[in-house]
Structure 1
Amino acid sequence: MTKIEIDHFDGDLPIDNLSDSNNYDLKYLDACDLNYANFFEKFMLRNLPCIIRNITSSWQCTNNWIKNEKINIEYLIDHYGDVDAPVADCDAITFNAHCKINMKVKEYMQYLQSCERDKLLYLKDWHLRRLRPNDLFYEVPLFFGSDWLNEFATDRGEDDFMFVYIGPTKSWTPLHADVYNSYSWSVNVVGQKKWTLFPPGEEEKLKDSLGNLPVMFHPEKFPGVKFLEIVQDGGDALFVPSGWHHQVVNLLDTISINHNWVNACNIENVWSSLQQCLSSVEYEIRDLKDSPEYISQCQVILKSLFGMDFSNFLIFLSYIGNKRITQLRKENSKGFNNIELGQNHIMFDLKTLHKVMNLIQNHPIFSYNCISPDIESDFIKIKKSISMIL
């Protein structure tokens, strides 16, 4: 079992240290020279992007999915041909997102192999790891091992946030921010991508009079907007920080592996985004404020827009808090992807959880009776147990 540890942090948590608006120079690092504690302190805590090179040298897919420096179409058909995968049509946009259908992988590979393509199709958000749990085609890089989101999902057998993307040259992903305001990491197995990243707040300069973002950013239309343009090669991992809007274009036929993830460094950002989304929902249906269904309806809409409601968030925090307590007591040391957390790391997680739990308990909605008694009781019990440890 691999172990990750951080330095001991005294005093206030440094998780409020968001991106330095005057320091957007992208750092290029080598996985062989980088340790977890350094990445944790200089990039996750500071919410700054970076490229980590030489990530895929030990991955099975590096040998199996690549032939003559291109996608090994025959191998993918032989091993995954009858599997269904979601495929987006890059030429069909609805509500700033690509329209999707399901295709057999062999059908998509035949499309990719064809010289004549009447559509620009992009296989994306494919849960291959969940479909083939014994197929160890990649390893989660150690730097991204503190992953509450996928730890929670895999422990409970729920939908994970681990994806494979396969796209031809010129396929693209519209301008967006990641689900829950999470981090994401993306590793190119083969091919090349161009990313455009926007520091938090810059996306406001791109919105129209109705508050809508463009589907794609074109620099000549938005002078004065700060952004980073990054070319990602095969074997490179890109760390996309919390709240950084981005768009992506494949410069070559490309396969990448992507995770969305949350941990102690960005959980307060997630909580802030949840509150902002709830406030927007409450404003949009303010005419129903005096109706008895107003509170519950706000939660229903919140879940549809944000991906989780208030109760889901409490369940998530309570689960991680309870697990960290058992890990601290040495009752269970196994974390996400069989990674063990060091004691300083566990204490950092617990201290951060306690801070966010306090913020939640002081939020007006906590007293609105929109949470079941069992969820509320468990939340309070876990928070109290963490208080006793701290």
Structure 2
Amino acid sequence: MGLNIVGTVEKVNGNELSYTSFVENYFSKNKPVVLTGLMDDWGACRNWVFDDGRPNLQFISSTFGNSKVQVADCGSREFTDQNRSDMSVSEFIAKWHDVSSTENGNPSTSKLNGNTLLYLKDWHFVKEYPEYKAYTTPLFFHDDWLNLYLDHYHMHEDPDTSQKNDDISCSDYRFVYMGANGTWTPFHADVFRSYSWSANVCGKKKWYFLSPSQHHLAFDRNMKNSVYDIFEEVNESIFPNFKKTTWLECTQDQNEIIFVPSGWYHQVHNLEDTISINYNWFNAYNLSWVWDLLLRDYKEAREYIEDIKDICDDFEGLCQRNLATNTGMNFHDFFKFMVSISFANIIHLYHLAKNSDDLKWCSSDKAKHLIFNLECAKDIAIKMRSTCLCKNQNISLDFRSVLKDPKFLELCCQLERTYGFIHDGCGSKDILMEEFVDVGVCKLLDIVVCDAEDLVVLIDHILQDLRLLPQKM
């Protein structure tokens, strides 16, 4: 049974798009798109690729060969993913040379010339080589709360479920992928239901997309397991609705970047020897997707161990530890992230108000962006409050102590540079500590946020104080 392809993903010259246009057409509509024209000055496109488009594996092996990476065996399944092993980049490239790259890749085949096809995935290149300028993050993807936060904090710090000794592999979601013709990635949706962007430094990929409105059709009757490979014979008794699915397809060429919105399941095949740079991230526009996934996974984690509730001394704590293990963070982690990002946005909103002579300062694009961020954070906090899942999480964050944290101050400076680049065309100057305290934040120094209700009240207070909401009588 073949896929019912009903359309293709739009391709647009990224140089002809403004940030506002991208927000309106792709963020707000949660719509995929392929961007061209944005990779011409990338170092990776000069150094990692020969003039004829083949990957310069010798350069990569000699320059980065000692890096330890995860490599997937495209012919061996392990639960919902491919079986993975650890090896060095040079070992992986040596094995790649054993596989012919002259035959056409077959989406249903995992071997060429009798050799197992190996796919290097999730190489945390930026964390490992921060000084190497392989690329420039496109304008549209600069508002990246996830990696900004992880550059300064661990998402989860429970010693029972985190691996502090493995700092590289758990501290960001910026990756390099490398695979020969015929390698592929099974059907899936991205971690945290984040956005992702993937840039082809060389090679060609074939993408197959299933919209969020149809993802349930690719799951079993209990909505527990999805189809693994959409090109295998799908068992109709297990996946009775799969035949109803309709798909978008896309061929992504060299020097093209694809934007994958939240909740879009996809399967990807390398049609040529391919190297790509991939990011996962989220911001205010898809924050609700992250919370919805956490809530769903929490309910599943709770249901799975419900039978030991009466004999467990800390049943809720166990649920949260299992959630962190399975999803990558729990409610405590997400709420702490939300408060930190909200504090940073509040500081910049006050700073913008103080340094503007125009009474209409709040109509600027930057001010609208910051206000939108806080309103979205408030909406999520309201959802968290209504489920009473942030109570008793041992969180106590106040401006006075946060402003003494060098990591938080650097996060604020980076956020300011980000919005300066997006809205002014250049990174804004760093804000000094004295300016933080001098912009009206001093009146907030004694405010403490312990739960979702506190965060809702705080954001309301800020917006009212800056005359961005009607004053409450």
TM-score if structure 1 supplies the norm length?
Answer: 0.86
Distance 1:352 1:163, change over 3 A: same
Q: Tell whether the 8 Å contact from 1:181 to 1:270 is kept in structure 2 after alignment.
A: yes
Q: Secondary structure at the match of 2:389?
A: helix
Q: Secondary structure at the match of 1:146?
A: coil
Q: Name the residue aligned to 1:265.
A: 285
Q: Name the residue aligned to 1:294.
A: 315
Alignment: residue pair count: 357
1:371-390 equivalence runs, <5 A: 371-374=393-396, 377-380=448-451, 382-390=455-463
Match among 385, 388, 397 for residue 364 of structure 1? 388
Q: Tell whether the 8 Å contact from 1:192 to 1:250 is kept in structure 2 after alignment.
A: yes
Q: Name the residue aligned to 1:327.
A: 348
Q: Name the residue aligned to 1:240.
A: 260
Q: Secondary structure at the match of 1:228?
A: strand
2:121 is equivalent to residue 124 of structure 1: yes
Match among 60, 68, 71 for residue 76 of structure 1? 60
Q: Name the residue aligned to 1:8.
A: none
Q: How many Å separate the matches in 2 of 1:204 and 1:383?
A: 33
Greater alpha carbon shift after TM alignment, 345-354 vs 159-168: 345-354
Match among 379, 391, 401 for residue 355 of structure 1? 379
Larger-gyration structure (1/2)? 2
Q: How many Å separate the matches in 2 of 1:194 and 1:178?
A: 17
Q: How many Å separate the matches in 2 of 1:69 and 1:94?
A: 33
Greater alpha carbon shift after TM alignment, 155-164 vs 258-267: 155-164
Shift of 1:110: 2.0
2:269 is equivalent to residue 249 of structure 1: yes
1:7-44 residue CA offsets vs partner (Å, 9 max, x unmatched): xxxxxxxxxxxxxxxx9763211011011110111111
Give, as a single letter, the amino acid of the residue that structure 2 aligns with 1:147.
D
1:52-96 residue CA offsets vs partner (Å, 9 max, x unmatched): 112211111111011021101121122112222211111221112
Shift of 1:261: 0.7
Distance 1:91 1:218, change over 3 A: closer
Give, as a single letter, the amino acid of the residue that structure 1 aligns with 2:396.
D
Q: How many Å separate the matches in 2 of 1:313 and 1:245?
A: 23
Q: Name the residue aligned to 2:336.
A: 315
Give, as a single letter, the amino acid of the residue that structure 2 aligns with 1:62.
C
TM-score if structure 2 supplies the norm length?
Answer: 0.71
Give, as a single letter, the amino acid of the residue that structure 1 aligns with 2:194.
S
Q: Tell whether the 8 Å contact from 2:201 to 2:274 is kept in structure 1 after alignment.
A: yes
Q: How many Å separate the matches in 1 of 2:45 and 2:351?
A: 36
Shift of 1:387: 1.8
Q: Name the residue aligned to 1:145.
A: 142
Q: Secondary structure at the match of 2:72?
A: strand
Q: Tell whether the 8 Å contact from 1:322 to 1:382 is kept in structure 2 after alignment.
A: no
Give, as a single letter, the amino acid of the residue that structure 1 aligns with 2:340.
Y
Shift of 1:257: 0.6
Q: Tell whether the 8 Å contact from 1:318 to 1:379 is kept in structure 2 after alignment.
A: no
Which 5+ residue runs of structure 1 have no aligned equivalent?
A: 1-22, 332-340
Q: Secondary structure at the match of 1:234?
A: coil
Q: Tell whether the 8 Å contact from 1:311 to 1:375 is kept in structure 2 after alignment.
A: no
Q: How many Å separate the matches in 1 of 2:76 and 2:282?
A: 31
Provide the aligned C-alpha RMSD in A.
Answer: 2.1
Identity %: 32
Give, as a single letter, the amino acid of the residue that structure 1 aligns with 2:295.
Q
Q: How many Å separate the matches in 2 of 1:40 and 1:32?
A: 15
Give, as a single letter, the amino acid of the residue that structure 2 aligns with 1:351.
E
Q: How many Å separate the matches in 1 of 2:232 and 2:115?
A: 28
Q: Name the residue aligned to 1:283.
A: 303
Q: Name the residue aligned to 1:229.
A: 249
Q: Secondary structure at the match of 1:355?
A: helix
Q: How many Å separate the matches in 1 of 2:60 and 2:183?
A: 19
Q: Secondary structure at the match of 1:314?
A: helix
Q: How many Å separate the matches in 2 of 1:379 and 1:72?
A: 52
Q: Name the residue aligned to 1:217.
A: 230
Q: Secondary structure at the match of 1:155?
A: coil
Give, as a single letter, the amino acid of the residue that structure 2 aligns with 1:69.
G
Q: How many Å separate the matches in 2 of 1:264 and 1:27?
A: 24
Q: Tell whether the 8 Å contact from 1:147 to 1:261 is kept in structure 2 after alignment.
A: yes
Q: How many Å separate the matches in 2 of 1:113 and 1:177?
A: 31
Which 5+ residue runs of structure 2 have no aligned equivalent?
A: 1-5, 101-112, 155-169, 235-241, 353-364, 399-447, 464-473
Q: Secondary structure at the match of 2:15?
A: coil
Greater alpha carbon shift after TM alignment, 301-310 vs 107-116: 107-116
Shift of 1:382: 4.9
Q: Tell whether the 8 Å contact from 2:381 to 2:455 is kept in structure 1 after alignment.
A: no
Q: Name the residue aligned to 1:29.
A: 12
Q: Name the residue aligned to 1:160.
A: 172
Shift of 1:207: 2.0
Q: Tell whether the 8 Å contact from 1:179 to 1:260 is kept in structure 2 after alignment.
A: yes
Q: How many Å separate the matches in 1 of 2:10 and 2:366?
A: 27
Shift of 1:379: 4.6
Q: How many Å separate the matches in 2 of 1:26 and 1:100?
A: 30
Shift of 1:138: 0.7
1:58-207 equivalence runs, <5 A: 58-67=41-50, 68-114=52-98, 115=100, 118-156=115-153, 159-207=171-219
Q: How many Å separate the matches in 2 of 1:168 and 1:330?
A: 50
Q: How many Å separate the matches in 2 of 1:29 and 1:379?
A: 45
Q: Tell whether the 8 Å contact from 2:378 to 2:455 is kept in structure 1 after alignment.
A: no
Shift of 1:220: 7.3
Greater alpha carbon shift after TM alignment, 309-318 vs 346-355: 346-355
Q: How many Å separate the matches in 2 of 1:219 and 1:167?
A: 21
Q: Tell whether the 8 Å contact from 2:37 to 2:255 is kept in structure 1 after alignment.
A: yes
1:295-324 residue CA offsets vs partner (Å, 9 max, x unmatched): 111111111121111100101101110111
Which of structures 1 and 2 has the larger relative contact order (alpha carbons within 8 angstroms, sep 6+)?
1
Give, as a single letter, the amino acid of the residue that structure 2 aligns with 1:54.
G
Greater alpha carbon shift after TM alignment, 63-72 vs 152-161: 152-161
Q: Name the residue aligned to 1:3.
A: none
